[in-house]
Amino acid sequence: MRFIPTLAALLVATNLANAQSGAAAIDPADWEAVTEAAEGQTVYWHAWGGSTATNDFIAWIGDQAAEQGVTLEHVKLADTADAVGAVLTEKQAGRDADGSVDLIWINGANFAAMKEADLLFGPFAEQLPNWQYVDVEGKTVRTDFTVPTEGYESPWAMAQLVMVHDSARVEEPPRTAEALLDWAQANPGRFTYPQPPDFLGTTFLKQMLIELAEDPAVLQEPAGDNYEAVTEPLWAWLDTLTPLLWREGRAYPETGPRMLHLINDGETDLSFSFSPGEASTAIANFELPESVRTYVLDGGTIGNASFVAIPYNSSAKAGAMVVADIILSPEAQLRAQMPDVLGYGTVLDMEKLPRADRAAFDALELGIATLSPAELGQALPEPHPTWATRIAADWVDRYGVAP
């Protein structure tokens, strides 16, 4: 499925200028008015639905929202581009109010496309009351894959790619792209990754490209005429790796959780996650053996923040802002970091929190397989979203497997 390139073409072709005209006149800075307008609204949050733990957390957020008079409905997505496409379709049909999408869990190319086309409400994020606790210096909460957020999306979790291995079967896991290829040659069929354009599968490709590219600094700029030369080492590496994968590269796991299931079932030995605490959460939920551990590659791994954004034609902008603010609350951020809930990293600055909230974070046990912040090290910046778009499309052409 190559939705994003098609979406980008549509955005250019339809010349969606001034899409913000007619947006609801609610002022995010007038929080009393926001909360009054939110009462009684139903917010349709379009978010990935492929994880029971994530679905349960969103349901908990819904319970908190209900206490403020807001009903939260989780619209489960397989691909964020589906929600983006829905907003685009409504715009093309002239539905500039009462849209079907009120809040989107969004990142990267999807955010860049919506922002460029003026399909987002805002700016609102830095007017949320709980923004006062956000770590704007130490975490990437004001850019999304190099694109400035400018208040059009609000962060809700920090993520960094970690490798996952079963230490009972692999004592010394590979820590470079070259070492991973050598390991796969010695252990055919024991590694795989989700099929792009799945977000996690595409992230794995970007991680390998950062290491294999002659000058990874070029990835911070949009992909251009240099695309083929820059990505050539990645395709050469994948040509060798693919027949060594699980099922000889003729099938791929659909999602990250499915990839972890393969380790639990003894079919593979290595995996990866974009949530440093996911392995500990899975162990706590008896979904992985206690011998599983996480690690980072020698050159570091990609990291970023997850965000929520509000479409320009949302019918419940006030309610969506209330939900976004709840997500940023110390209580919600603490819950998300619990290894038996999500194990996500927080976007908050501990020094800004009230003493009791800071103490609660300090007392939190991160889990048996979770690396400390020092062990995670400095996260590598995401490439510009145009690289992910083209890499995912090219991967489908070269290696894609029919569903």
What is the per-residue pLDDT for 29?
96
- Chain-centroid distance, C-alpha 74: 17
Q: What is the mean pLDDT of residues 357-372?
A: 92
**Phi, psi torsion values for 69, nearest 5 degrees:** 80, 15
What is the per-residue pLDDT for 324?
98
Cα angle: 375, vertex 271, 269; to 5 degrees: 110
What is the per-residue pLDDT for 190?
97
In whole angstroms, what is the distance from residue 403 CA to residue 398 CA?
15
In whole angstroms, what is the distance from residue 241 CA to residue 245 CA?
7
Percent of all residues in the chain with a pLDDT value above 70, rounded to a whole number: 94
Q: What is the mean pLDDT of residues 10-32?
A: 58
352 by Cβ neighbours in 10 Å (0-12 / 13-18 / 19+) ranks as: middle
22 by Cβ neighbours in 10 Å (0-12 / 13-18 / 19+) ranks as: exposed
Checking if the pLDDT of 122 tops 60, the result is yes
Checking if the pLDDT of 11 tops 50, the result is no
94 by Cβ neighbours in 10 Å (0-12 / 13-18 / 19+) ranks as: exposed
Q: What is the mean pLDDT of residues 32-50?
A: 96
What is the per-residue pLDDT for 10?
44
Q: What is the mean pLDDT of residues 327-331?
A: 98
Cis peptide before 148 (omega within 30 of 0): no
313 by Cβ neighbours in 10 Å (0-12 / 13-18 / 19+) ranks as: buried
134 by Cβ neighbours in 10 Å (0-12 / 13-18 / 19+) ranks as: buried
What domains does the chain contain, in order, with CATH numbers?
Answer: 3-156+306-366 (3.40.190.10), 162-303+381-399 (3.40.190.10)
DSSP assignment of 50-68 equals --HHHHHHHHHHHHHHHTT
Checking if the pLDDT of 229 tops 60, the result is yes
pLDDT in tens, 265-320: 999 999 999 889 889 988 988 999 999 999 999 999 998 899 999 999 999 999 99
Q: Which tokens is 184 given?
A: 């796969």
Q: What is the mean pLDDT of residues 348-376?
A: 91
**In the chain, what's the furthest Cα-to-Cα distance?**
63
Average pLDDT, the chain: 91
One-letter-per-residue 3-state SS of 94-140? CCCCCECCCEEEECHHHHHHHHHCCCECCCCHHHCHHHHHECCCCCC
Q: What is the mean pLDDT of residues 341-361?
A: 92
pLDDT in tens, 140-183: 899 998 889 999 999 999 889 999 999 999 999 999 999 999 99
> Is residue 247 within 8 Å of residue 262, measured between CB atoms?
no
> Is residue 274 within 8 Å of residue 214, measured between CB atoms?
no
Q: Give the model's confidence band at 246: pLDDT under 50 very low, under 70 low, under 90 confident, else very high.
A: very high
